[in-house]
Amino acid sequence: MEFFPHPMTFILILFISYFFCLGIAADCGGKNVAYTITVGRNGKVTFKTIQAAIDSIKSNNDQWVKIHIKAGFYTEQVHIPREKPCIILEGENSQNTIINFSDHYSVPQGTSSTGTFISWPSNVIASDITFKNSYNVDDKGNNKIFPAVAASIYGDKTFLLRCSFIGYQDTLFDVIGRHYFKDCYIQGEIDFIFGNGQSYYENCLINAIGRNKNLAGFVTAQSRDSPNDPGGFVFEGGSIVGNGKVNLGRAWRAYSRVIFHNTNFSSVITPQGWNNFGHVGEENKFTYAEVDCKGPGADTSKRVPWTKKLNSAQLQEFSLASFINKDSWLNNLPIIS
C-alpha cells in the first residue's frame, strides 16, 4: 500500500472556475421543477444513460430540471458541466440505484478527473444514489492502491441527500463551495473525504475499511490554506465505524479545519486521532475539534496536544445556519421527499 500525495497544480484554475460557477446561476426559478427526464434500462424512459439526460439539458439552464433515475446498475462516468446548473439527480434508493465506474490516478490526468460523478455547477441536488469507484474496491487481487474518486463536487450550493459514496483512497473529493451532505454513507480508508469544500455533514455514516492492519488510515484530508479561507468540514451527529484503525484527519494544507460534534466514534479511531502530515511547527494553525462526541473511540486523553477546545460561541459559528446557510439557499430548494 502506498500513500500518494494529492496533485495541486490545478488549484488556480479551480478557484477561477469556482467563482465563474457562482455567477452562472444565482437562482433556479424558485422551488418549482420545470420538467422531469426519466432514465432507465427498460420501460417508459426518456434516455438509457444518465449522461445522455444531462447532455439534453440546455446550456446556462435557469430552471430546476429533475432527472429521475430508475433503479438499476449504471456503468458510466457522469459529468455535469459548469454551464448546466439547476439539475436534480433523483434515484429510487441508494441500495438499488448505483452508478459505477472504474478509473484511477495516472499521469497526466491526476486524481480529479477519475471521479465516477463530477459536478461543476452551482445549484445541484442528488438524492438516493450510490456513487462508486470500483477500482480499489472490487479488484481484490490489485496490490497497487491508487487514488480513485467516487465523486468530485466543485459547485457551490450542492445538496446530497441519502447518497452513498464507495471507494478506498480519495473516495469523496469535496473540492470547494458550500455543500450539504445529509444522511449519507461514505466508505474508504485513505483520505476518503478530502478537499477544501465549505461543507456540513449531518447524520452521515462513515465506514473505514482497514485492509492493512499495520497502517492506520485517515477519514479526512482537509486543504484549507489561509486563515481567511471559508473552507472546512463540519460533521454533526452520525457515526464512524469500520475495522482496523483510522485517524480522524491529516492536514493536507496548513490551515486544515475539521470539527466533529455529537458524533459516535467506534473503537476504530486511533488514540492520537490526528496527524500533521508534515506541517511540523504549524499545528497551531489547524482547527481540529471534537465536541460532545461519544463511543469507545471518543476518549481524548491521548489525543495530539494541538486539538482545539471550542466554546459555545465558537461552536455556533459551525452550525448549519452559520457555516453554510447564511443566505438561506437551503430554504429555497425544491422539496425532496
Is 191 considered catalytic here? yes
Question: In terms of Cα–Cα distance, which of 252, 244, 258 is closest to 223?
Answer: 252
Among the listed residues 191, 225, 229, 299, the single catalytic one is: 191
Among the listed residues 103, 170, 174, 183, the single catalytic one is: 170
Is 299 considered catalytic here? no
List active site positions: 170, 191
